[in-house]
Amino acid sequence: MRIGSVMKMNGVSRVRLGYDAEWRIIRLIAMASLAAVSGCGGMRPVPLFTTHQAPIENGLPVVARDDLLNEISMYHGVPYKEGGDSMKGLDCSGLVQVVFAPLGVKVPRTVVEQFGSGIPVGRHDVRTGDLVFFGGGRLPDHVGIAVSDDEMVHASASRGVILDGIDNFAGTTRLQGARRLVRLR
C-alpha cells in the first residue's frame, strides 16, 4: 500500500490511502470476475455453519484484511432476495452473515441483532470491516460492511450487492451507528 495524503478532520490528523474510489470498484469487479471464471461455474458453496473460529484478541476475532476483502468481493453483483443467504440472492443482513462465516466469525441473522453485536464506533472511526447501520425509525433496518472509512458494500433491494459511499447512502436514510466485529491484521 502506498500512503496518499494526510488530512485533518475535526482537529484529528488522518492518513488517507492513495487508492481512489474508481480503483476500489475496478478491484472488486476484477476479483468478482476472477471468482466467477474459476471453480464450478463460479458458484462456490456458502458455509452457513463453520467449525473454524477466528482467534480472539482484545475481545474481538482477528481476521486478515485481505481475506475479508476477498470474501466481500465474492458477492459483488449477487441479486437482492429478502431473507436470502446464498449466491442466488442476499438481503443486507444475510450478506453480513455469509461474508464473515468463512472467516470464523459468527454473526446474528437480523439487522437489529447485528446492531446489538460488537463494539460501537463513531462515524469518524469507521474502518474496513465495520458494520454501518441505517434506518428512519428507532431501530436500524439496513446494514452494510465498510470497505474503507468512506465506502461500504451492501445488498440494495433495487441493485443487488453493490459498493456505495457511506455518507451518500446516509443522505437518503439516517446513519444510526456503526459496530466493530473484528480486528484486522
Query: For the segment 86-119, what is each residue's pLDDT rounded down to a tens digit?
Result: 999 999 999 999 999 999 999 999 999 999 999 9
Active-site residue among 40, 52, 76, 154?
A: 154
Active-site hit among 40, 52, 124, 142: 142
Residues 143, 134: Cα–Cα separation, whole Å: 6
Among this protein's residues, is 40 annotated catalytic? no
Q: Catalytic: 124?
A: no
- pLDDT digits over 10-28, tens only? 554 444 444 454 455 555 5
Question: pLDDT at residue 59 above 90?
Answer: no
Which residue out of 40, 52, 76, 92 is catalytically annotated? Answer: 92
Q: What is the pLDDT of residue 29?
A: 54
Confidence of residue 77 (pLDDT cuts 50, 70, 90): very high
CA–CA distances in Å: residue 115 to residues 111, 147, 177: 6, 18, 8
How far, rounded to the nearest angstrom, does the alpha carbon of residue 154 sit from its chain's CA centroid?
A: 7
Task: Mark whether 142 is an active-site residue.
Answer: yes
Set out the domains of the chain in order of their start, with CATH numbers.
3-184 (3.90.1720.10)
- The three-class DSSP label of residue 58 is coil
Mean pLDDT of the chain: 81
> pTM (2 decimals)?
0.73
